[in-house]
């Protein structure tokens, strides 16, 4: 039987390959009910395998709630049916992609999803309607072109984002790309970043004035800076959007690049140790900093920094960062040619989608993606275009677009024509038509209103009149979230909307809360405030009213934020009064459904989010890993490789022992000798590991295996080792349970 696993053998980086095979095994074990539900849910989330709307097995069809008839099997998480298709998030550090990767994404969308790849507001991409059983093959195929889904969701360090213009930007202090890459690689799977109570987001920006990195809304925000000729970062901590947005606080005026990785590591340790674990709504780092105060937080970070053992990767990952030069496959042209000729790119596209790079003769092109979506054919067409025009680096953006960098100016005509052929030459990048939206009720379990439906409607209406719009209006940004969680980043838009609901008689009505005055520029320099809620169907006229009043009432050169401030929120709210009234269902039934969805609106599809997953103590992951290893040992035994089986069984015991030791000793060294000794002194000598009947017998199995770990074993000896490992791991589980329940004796 041919498989992708065999087909791609040797083409995936070994560590990633092993992670994928472990996940495939975990799916199998969960299928046999050998892994706990919450543990499996967090495990799959950390692989980017996320839930999707209707995965609880029911859907409201507008009249009734229908059962979706999924096969009755185990769940893959709380309220999540095993058989229900879900979403696969794919991490792209700093949004970086190349042509080969685009081709693979196109194939995956075609074969496992719905032919659409969706670019997210954090430079990731997502596939929808994916079945759990297909995810290992998806990961293998991605792994073969250097992409991982590891830690794309769950309580982990999420995709590290960066300005898509990094390296080509005219106002950047330096190119942050190699640093973003180093942070992403360093923290991926790092032991100090595994025990978080919630997700953790990092972003890098090349300068303070422009929006691109959005440093102010991240757990760690880094803005490039130099001091006395040395590179470093102005560092911000504790920012975040969500239901309770917070702007980040300045933590270091200048953090030299040598300290970038160790200080980031130290911050992760503080968050893991002191962050809230029980109350999800208070578990982001912004709340920890608020609770501790920045000064105390700083003290804790410095304490952790002082404890860190020197890690060579702090340096090696940054080697050559100052010399990084993006590969440029085409020769530059210094003259911007033929942009205005009749068959060349229209002026509107040139004005909004072409950015003159700091490298003379080159431009960066923004490819506008309506709602962040593109088809498999478009992905392939983009890959082909990139190859044809010698474009090595492609990046996704947090505005759900794609940029093509290092395009020689002389080739802009040709590039425009090539993009136009695949429907990717829409103008309006970075203008009011370029609306950002989260998935909302289309696919998100938490969605309250149709953010994508509304975005499509507004985009359509605005595009028609874009040319005639006042320039001050064209420059505004609109961002839409389907609920208060702010995945559409509505807080940092000039005009933001987020989904809410209201009741009128027996019926529910989709509404959007209007949020005004946020600032996209200056790295998300200000957060907008809610003005009032309006029925979803009336948002287009609400928007028109707001922009008309702005055009009529603005004083010369007044920004939208200044206009909102001067007018006063109470006055603006009064404009919306009439619009927010909902007539009875019988007279205006259209208000009781949402954009792009003819069903009568209902909240009954609203589910439980998986954004964070359950908080699973690190020891439980360790014990789970030991179970998997002993299972692998069993398989090796069946394959008649006793030496390998005995070795793996010993490793399983070591993993279990380490999981327990780490509950008591932080930063335990990885050497088996050290772990065995610590286990002996802390769990055996103290009798903490003893159970009432076997006493310390199972621990002796481990000591024996440790002592004879290098001795060659025959089949019989290996079988005994595997059986003993099984018993030792069971005893480790029992010991963990006693300790966690506080009943150790």
- Quick check: 553 binds another protein (CB under 8 A)? no
> From the CB of 612, what's the least distance to another protein, in Å?
25
Distance CA 655, CA 620 (A): 11
Contact 23, 45 (CB under 8 A): no
- Closest alpha carbon to 507 in 569, 600, 392: 600
Interface pick for another protein out of 9, 18, 33, 66 (rule CB under 8 A): 66
- Which residue, 116 or 493, is less far from another protein as judged by CB? 116
- Quick check: 68 binds another protein (CB under 8 A)? yes
Longest dimension (CA), the chain: 89
Interface pick for another protein out of 423, 505, 553, 583 (rule CB under 8 A): 423
Interface pick for another protein out of 237, 374, 572, 660 (rule CB under 8 A): 374
- Quick check: 456 binds another protein (CB under 8 A)? yes
Binding segment toward another protein, per CB under 8 A, in 171-179, 367-375, 492-500, 637-645: 367-375
Contact code string over 84-103 relative to another protein, x by CB under 8 A:
-x-----------------x
- Quick check: 598 binds another protein (CB under 8 A)? yes
Contact 646, 713 (CB under 8 A): yes
Binding segment toward another protein, per CB under 8 A, in 21-29, 344-352, 368-376, 486-494: 368-376
Q: Where in 106-125 is the site for another protein (CB under 8 A)?
A: 106-107, 110-116
- Which residue, 282 or 599, is less far from another protein as judged by CB? 599
The beta-strand segments (E) located in 38-77 are 49-50, 58-60, 65-67, 75-77
Tokens matching residue 711: 């001795």
- Quick check: 377 binds another protein (CB under 8 A)? yes
Q: Where in 170-229 is the site for another protein (CB under 8 A)?
A: none
> From the CB of 341, what's the least distance to another protein, in Å?
24
> From the CB of 540, what's the least distance to another protein, in Å?
16
Contact 82, 73 (CB under 8 A): yes
Residue whose entry in the numeric block shows the structure tokens 């209103």 = 449
> From the CB of 329, what's the least distance to another protein, in Å?
20
Q: Is the dihedral of CA 647, 648, 649, 652 positive or negative?
A: positive
Q: Where in 129-168 is the site for another protein (CB under 8 A)?
A: 129, 131, 134
Label residue 573 exposed, middle or buried (CB < 10 Å: 0-12, 13-18, 19+): middle
Interface pick for another protein out of 100, 311, 597, 730 (rule CB under 8 A): 597
- Quick check: 424 binds another protein (CB under 8 A)? yes
Label residue 187 exposed, middle or buried (CB < 10 Å: 0-12, 13-18, 19+): buried
Distance CA 220, CA 109 (A): 32
Contact 130, 86 (CB under 8 A): yes
- Quick check: 59 binds another protein (CB under 8 A)? yes
Describe the chain by its helix, strand, coil percentages, rounded to 5: 45, 15, 40
Distance CA 356, CA 384 (A): 23
- Quick check: 453 binds another protein (CB under 8 A)? yes
- Which residue, 150 or 376, is less far from another protein as judged by CB? 376
- Which residue, 422 or 657, is less far from another protein as judged by CB? 422
Q: How many CA atoms lie within 13 A of 659 on its CB side?
A: 31
- Quick check: 81 binds another protein (CB under 8 A)? no
- Quick check: 380 binds another protein (CB under 8 A)? yes
- Quick check: 399 binds another protein (CB under 8 A)? no
Contact 124, 90 (CB under 8 A): yes
- Closest alpha carbon to 158 in 234, 268, 252, 290: 268
The helix (H) or strand (E) run that includes residue 38 is helix 37-45
> From the CB of 520, what's the least distance to another protein, in Å?
23
Interface pick for another protein out of 13, 319, 373, 639 (rule CB under 8 A): 373
- Closest alpha carbon to 158 in 19, 48, 301, 288: 48
- Quick check: 4 binds another protein (CB under 8 A)? yes
CA 562 remoteness from chain centre: 33
- Quick check: 63 binds another protein (CB under 8 A)? yes
| Three-state SS at 650 | helix
- Which residue, 312 or 598, is less far from another protein as judged by CB? 598
- Quick check: 3 binds another protein (CB under 8 A)? yes
Distance CA 63, CA 68 (A): 15
- Which residues form the interface with another protein (CB under 8 A)? 2-4, 7, 53-54, 59, 61-63, 66, 68-70, 83, 85, 103, 106-107, 110-116, 128-129, 131, 134, 370-371, 373-378, 380, 383-384, 422-424, 442, 452-453, 456, 459, 596-599
């Amino acid at each position: 039987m041919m498989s992708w696993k065999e087909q791609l053998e040797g083409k995936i980086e070994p560590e990633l390959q092993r992670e994928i095979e472990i996940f495939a095994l975990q799916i199998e074990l969960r299928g046999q009910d050998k892994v706990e539900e919450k543990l499996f849910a967090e495990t799959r989330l950390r692989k980017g395998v996320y839930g999707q709307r209707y995965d609880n097995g029911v859907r409201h069809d507008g009249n009734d709630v229908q059962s979706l008839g999924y096969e009755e099997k185990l769940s893959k998480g709380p309220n999540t049916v095993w058989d229900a298709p879900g979403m696969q998030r794919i991490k792209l550090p700093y949004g970086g992609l190349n042509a080969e990767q685009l081709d693979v994404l196109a194939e995956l969308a075609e074969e496992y999803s719905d032919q659409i790849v969706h670019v997210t507001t954090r430079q990731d991409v997502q596939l929808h309607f994916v079945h759990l059983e297909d995810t290992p093959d998806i990961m293998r195929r991605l792994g073969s072109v250097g992409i991982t889904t590891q830690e794309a969701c769950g309580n982990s360090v999420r995709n590290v984002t960066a300005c898509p213009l990094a390296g080509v930007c005219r106002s950047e202090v330096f190119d942050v790309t190699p640093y973003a890459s180093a942070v992403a690689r360093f923290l991926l799977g790092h032991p100090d970043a595994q025990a978080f109570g919630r997700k953790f987001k990092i972003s890098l920006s090349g300068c303070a004035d422009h929006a691109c990195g959005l440093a102010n809304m991240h757990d760690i925000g880094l803005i490039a800076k130099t001091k006395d000729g040395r590179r470093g970062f102005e560092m911000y901590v504790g920012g975040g959007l969500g239901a309770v947005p917070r702007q980040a606080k300045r933590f270091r005026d200048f953090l030299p690049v040598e300290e970038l990785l160790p200080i980031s590591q130290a911050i992760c340790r503080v968050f893991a140790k002191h962050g809230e674990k029980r109350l999800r709504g208070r578990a982001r780092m912004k709340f920890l900093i608020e609770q501790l105060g920045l000064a105390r937080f700083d003290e804790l970070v410095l304490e952790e920094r002082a404890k860190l053992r020197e890690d060579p990767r702090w340096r090696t990952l940054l080697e050559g960062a100052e010399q990084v030069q993006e590969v440029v496959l085409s020769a530059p042209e210094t003259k911007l040619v033929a942009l205005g000729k009749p068959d060349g790119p229209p002026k509107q596209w040139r004005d909004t989608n072409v950015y003159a790079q700091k490298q003379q003769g080159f431009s960066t092109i923004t490819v506008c993606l309506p709602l962040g979506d593109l088809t498999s054919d478009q992905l392939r067409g983009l890959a082909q275009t990139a190859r044809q025009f010698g474009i090595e680096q492609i990046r996704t953006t947090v505005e759900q677009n794609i940029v093509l960098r290092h395009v020689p100016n002389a080739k802009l005509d040709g590039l425009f024509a090539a993009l136009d052929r695949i429907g990717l030459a829409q103008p309006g990048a970075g203008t009011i038509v370029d609306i950002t939206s989260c998935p909302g009720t289309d696919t998100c379990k938490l969605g309250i209103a149709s953010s994508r439906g509304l975005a499509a409607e507004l985009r359509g209406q605005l595009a028609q009149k874009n040319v005639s719009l006042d320039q001050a209006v064209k420059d505004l940004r609109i961002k839409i979230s389907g609920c208060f969680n702010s995945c559409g980043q509505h807080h940092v838009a000039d005009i933001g909307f987020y989904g809410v609901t209201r009741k009128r008689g027996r019926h529910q009505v989709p509404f959007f809360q209007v949020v005004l005055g946020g600032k996209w520029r200056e790295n998300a320099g200000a957060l907008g405030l809610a003005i009032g809620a309006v029925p979803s169907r009336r948002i287009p006229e609400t928007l028109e009213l707001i922009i008309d009043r702005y055009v009529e009432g603005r004083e010369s050169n007044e920004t939208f934020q200044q206009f909102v401030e001067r007018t006063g929120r109470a006055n603006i709210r009064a404009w919306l009064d009439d619009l927010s009234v909902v007539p009875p269902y019988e007279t205006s039934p259209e208000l009781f459904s949402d954009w792009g969805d003819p069903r009568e609106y209902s909240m009954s599809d609203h589910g439980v989010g998986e954004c964070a997953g359950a908080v699973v103590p690190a020891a439980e992951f360790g014990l789970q890993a030991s179970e998997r290893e002993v299972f692998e040992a069993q398989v090796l035994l069946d394959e008649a490789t006793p030496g390998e089986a005995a070795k793996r069984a010993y490793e399983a015991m070591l993993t279990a022992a380490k999981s327990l030791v780490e509950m008591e000793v932080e930063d335990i060294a990885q050497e088996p000798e050290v772990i065995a000794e610590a286990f002996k002194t802390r769990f055996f000598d103290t009798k903490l590991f003893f159970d009432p009947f076997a006493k310390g017998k199972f621990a002796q199995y481990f000591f024996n295996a440790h002592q004879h770990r290098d001795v060659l074993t025959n089949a019989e000896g290996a079988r005994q080792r595997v059986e003993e490992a099984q018993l030792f791991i069971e005893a480790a589980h029992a010991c963990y349970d006693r300790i966690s329940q506080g009943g150790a004796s």
